[in-house]
């Protein structure tokens, strides 16, 4: 199998993940309403993030350079998929802008409106909260909003 076919399958798998989130959210919304549906999804996605964060615990609470290197080394398709741009990495913080996101692309391709894309990005980003908080860092994300370029901005700070 060619590298190009593997790459297409990898990107397709990420887009499929995004669409699965969307369809699960739609079903949950009908059952329990928007707010409760988002809360349920976020709790589950956060739990997965906690599992992912295990591999980064060795960098906590303050080795942001080590965390950056490990995180970027594990970025899909050698960083090409999310196109991470490190905006800051010093003793007080690590800030990364994801210039691309296959989940967001899937939502756009499916014809979701900007408000729905923003909601889905907010839900999906909770995996990063679980990942970095679970690893022992403080974290917050600025998820995509209509009119913005790229996707999420990740802000990682030393833990306690």
* Residue 38 reports pLDDT greater than 90: yes
| 114-151 pLDDT per residue, tens | 999 999 999 999 999 999 999 999 999 999 999 999 99
| 81-110 pLDDT per residue, tens | 999 999 999 999 999 999 999 999 999 999
CA–CA separation, 8 and 28 (whole Å): 30
Sign of CA dihedral 143, 145, 151, 153: negative
Residue 76's pLDDT is: 94
* Residue 1 reports pLDDT greater than 90: no
- Model pTM? 0.95
CATH level 3 topology of 3-157: Muramoyl-pentapeptide Carboxypeptidase; domain 2 (3.30.1380)
């Amino acid at each position: 199998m060619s590298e190009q076919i593997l790459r297409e399958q990898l990107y397709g798998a990420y887009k499929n993940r995004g669409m699965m989130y969307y369809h699960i959210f739609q079903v949950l919304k009908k059952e329990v309403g928007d707010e409760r549906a988002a809360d349920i999804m976020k709790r589950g996605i956060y739990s997965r993030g906690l599992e992912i964060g295990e591999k980064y615990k060795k960098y906590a609470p303050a080795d942001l350079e080590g965390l950056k290197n490990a995180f970027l080394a594990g970025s899909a398709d050698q960083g090409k998929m999310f196109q991470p741009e490190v905006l800051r990495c010093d003793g007080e913080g690590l800030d990364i802008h994801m210039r691309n996101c296959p989940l967001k692309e899937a939502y756009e391709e499916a014809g979701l409106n900007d408000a729905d894309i923003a909601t889905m990005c907010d839900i999906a980003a909770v995996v990063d909260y679980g990942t970095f908080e679970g690893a022992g860092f403080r974290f917050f994300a600025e998820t995509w909003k209509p009119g913005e370029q790229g996707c999420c901005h990740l802000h990682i700070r030393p833990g306690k």
